[in-house]
Amino acid sequence: MMADMIKAFAKSVLCGAVIGCAPFLMVTFVSAIAVALDGGHGDGNLRGMLWFAFLPLMISFPIVLATSLIFGLPLTLFLRMRGLESGDAYRGAGIALGSVIPVAGAVILHAPGVYVLSIFGAIAGAATGHIWWEAIKNVDDHPH
């Protein structure tokens, strides 16, 4: 049961992070491939191109992981104890948290132009919540 929960958590965090940063990941990945195919007119550093290609995921993953650990797992306990677990509850919480975290970061960093990232945060949050619910709703001792 615990192994299933850990797998569900890892799957939901990774998928949520990838889905949330997918538009940026496509741009950086295609740009890195274009540079590589063009003969790597930068410094020719393959490691640097790979780093650039996956940069959005390297930013998104720790944010989704931290948010899931700090807010998501306690939310699961809260909802489970009150018998309120549902896909809508997890998706709604994911949308709310995913929207607020980028705005909070923008306020802290004094970067108001970053508010638009709350859209992608909401998408990541909804995906994380949905995948988490789909993965845990069938765990053996999960109350329904």
* Cα–Cα distance measured from residue 101 to residue 63, given in angstroms and rounded to the nearest whole number: 9
Q: What is the pTM of this model?
A: 0.87
Structural domain contains residue 144: no
CA-to-CA distance for 109 and 144, rounded, in angstroms?
Answer: 42
- In whole angstroms, give the CA distance from residue 34 to residue 30: 6
Task: Look at residue 95 and tell me if it is in a domain.
Answer: yes
Give the pLDDT score at 131.
96
Q: What is the mean pLDDT of residues 56-77?
A: 96
Residue 56 lies in a domain: yes
Predicted local distance difference test score (pLDDT) of residue 66: 96
Crossing angle (nearest 10°) for helices 46-53 and 55-67: 50
Look at residue 141 and tell me if it is in a domain: no
The DSSP code for 71 is I
Secondary structure of 3-59 in HEC code, one letter for each residue: HHHHHHHHHHHHHHHHHHHHHHHHHHHHHHHHHHHCCCCCCCCHHHHHHHHCHHHHH
Examine the pLDDT at 72 and tell me if it is beyond 90: yes
Domain total for the chain? 1
- Domain assignment present for residue 142? The answer is no
Please tell me the distance from the alpha carbon of residue 108 to that of residue 91, in angstroms, as a whole number. 26
Tell whether 17 is covered by a domain. yes
Q: What is the pLDDT of residue 32?
A: 86
Q: What is the pLDDT of residue 101?
A: 93
Task: Assess whether pLDDT exceeds 90 at residue 75.
Answer: yes
Residue 96 has pLDDT above 70, yes or no: yes
Domain that holds residue 76: 2-136
Q: Which amino acid is at 130?
A: H
Q: Which amino acid is at 75?
A: L
Per-residue model confidence (pLDDT) at position 36: 75
Question: pLDDT tens for residues 28-54?
Answer: 999 888 877 766 555 566 777 888 899
User: Is residue 105 a contact partner of residue 114, using CB atoms and an 8 Å limit?
Assistant: yes
Task: Give the model confidence (pLDDT) of 124-143 as tens digits.
Answer: 999 999 999 999 987 755 45
In residues, how long is the chain? 144
89 within a domain of the structure (yes/no): yes
Tell me if 9 is assigned to some domain. yes
